[in-house]
Chain A
Amino acid sequence: GEDVEQSLFLSVREGDSSVINCTYTDSSSTYLYWYKQEPGAGLQLLTYIFSNMDMKQDQRLTVLLNKKDKHLSLRIADTQTGDSAIYFCAENGGTYKYIFGTGTRLKVLA
């Protein structure tokens, strides 16, 4: 079945770049997503990438997709304390049914 895996924790210093990684299993995914969840809040869509793209850049965010290895990454440039949150990647498996990873908790140290 479908599975999405992420590392659980990442700690970076303010001003450094953060890279959050994700691997997925369903090759039929047409879109892959990154969501941010702050404490006590719902999931906020950060960005998404279509499966025929290798890279997408949106201000401080860069998404890289390696479809061959089924690997997705999110790079946050100039990480700020306000970026501290849990980041989820999700795939849609070619359907409406999003499969989420377990989330990566990013901690930004001042």
Chain B
Amino acid sequence: EAGVVQSPRYKIIEKKQPVAFWCNPISGHNTLYWYRQNLGQGPELLIRYENEEAVDDSQLPKDRFSAERLKGVDSTLKIQPAELGDSAVYLCASSLILGASTDTQYFGPGTRLTVL
């Protein structure tokens, strides 16, 4: 069974440019998460979806970040415009059960973003 798929794996852009990341969760997983991992740190949650609904986006910087999961499967995270401080690894994770706090999250390989 395929794991969580993310693309691109690496992205280098200049500041003020837009960028988008794509995630395909494990088949059948209803809950999807986007995390940001700064260098030398653990991941921090940005947004959580249950099906197509964003049920927690409290940590998402809404002035420049947006996300969507239109059909409740794939998801896209966008930054516009990017800033130097956005350089990080953006991780997508998914879990099977809706609303189950103890359900295990499975992570993709991440997209490493470098903003110059």
- A interface bracket (residues with beta carbon within 8 Å of B): 20 to 34
Q: Name the segment of B63-71, B73-81, B104-112 touching the other chain.
A: B104-112
- Pull 20 A–B residue pairs with CB atoms less than 8 Å apart, ordered by A: A35-B107, A40-B9, A41-B109, A42-B4, A42-B91, A42-B107, A43-B43, A43-B93, A45-B104, A45-B107, A88-B42, A88-B43, A92-B101, A92-B102, A96-B31, A96-B99, A98-B43, A100-B43, A102-B42, A103-B41
Across-interface contacts of A103 in B (CB, < 8 A): 40-42
Q: Is A81 an interface residue (CB 8 A)?
A: no
The answer to whether B109 and A40 have CB atoms under 8 Å apart is: yes
Q: Judge if B56 is at the interface, Cβ distance under 8 Å.
A: yes
B42 touches A30 (CB 8 A): no
Question: Is residue A72 within 8 Å, beta carbon to beta carbon, of the partner chain?
Answer: no
Tell me, in angstroms, the Cα distance from A103 to B102 when the chains sit together.
21
When A and B form their complex, which 5 residue pairs have the shortest distance between CB atoms, in order from nearest?
A: A100-B42, A42-B107, A43-B107, A42-B109, A96-B101
Inter-chain contact count A-B, CB under 8 Å?
Answer: 61
Asked if B45 is at the interface of the complex by the 8 Å CB criterion, the answer is yes
Interface residue tally on B, bucketed by range: 20 to 34
**A-B contacts besides A44-B107, A96-B100, 8 pairs, CB < 8 Å:** A33-B104, A40-B109, A42-B6, A45-B104, A45-B105, A94-B101, A100-B43, A101-B42
**A48 contact set on B, CB distance < 8 A:** 104
Q: Report the minimum CB–CB distance from B71 to chain A (whole Å).
A: 21
Q: Find out whether the CB atom of B110 lies under 8 angstroms from the CB atom of A97.
A: no
Residues of B within 8 A of A97 (CB): 45, 48, 56
